[in-house]
């Protein structure tokens, strides 16, 4: 997974897979979802990110442990 924030365009992009995008859908105004040919979510783009996301240039990553 890759997260990219572009302050020049104020766009936050989250890439889940490097597969080619076959279809895009603006789920909500300013939130674009990209899908591969099989309908799997490939990436998500958030426009005007600084108005929608707290501190878009800061990323916190957390993995929860799975009980054994």
- Write out the DSSP string of 3-68: EEEETTTTEEEEES--SPP-EEEEEETTEEEEE-TTS-EEEEEETTHHHHSSSTT------PPPP-
Residue 10 domain-assigned (yes or no): yes
Q: What's the pLDDT score for residue 4?
A: 92
Residue 68 domain-assigned (yes or no): no
Q: Is the per-residue pLDDT at 57 higher than 90?
A: no
In which band, very low, low, confident or very high, does the pLDDT at 58 lie, cut at 50, 70 and 90?
confident
23 is in which domain, residue-wise? 2-52
The reported pTM is 0.82
In which band, very low, low, confident or very high, does the pLDDT at 7 lie, cut at 50, 70 and 90?
very high
Q: How many domains does the chain have?
A: 1
Residue 65 domain-assigned (yes or no): no
Residue 34 domain-assigned (yes or no): yes
Q: What's the pLDDT score for residue 63?
A: 84
Residue 60 domain-assigned (yes or no): no
In which band, very low, low, confident or very high, does the pLDDT at 9 lie, cut at 50, 70 and 90?
very high
Give the separation between CA 3 and CA 45, rounded to whole angstroms.
Answer: 10
């Amino acid at each position: 997974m890759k997260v990219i924030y572009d302050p020049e365009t104020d766009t936050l992009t989250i890439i889940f897979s490097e597969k080619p995008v076959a279809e895009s859908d603006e789920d909500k105004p300013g939130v674009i979802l990209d899908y591969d040919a099989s309908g799997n979510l490939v990436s998500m783009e958030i426009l005007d990110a600084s108005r929608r996301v707290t501190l878009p240039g800061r990323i916190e990553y957390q993995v929860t442990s799975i009980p054994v």
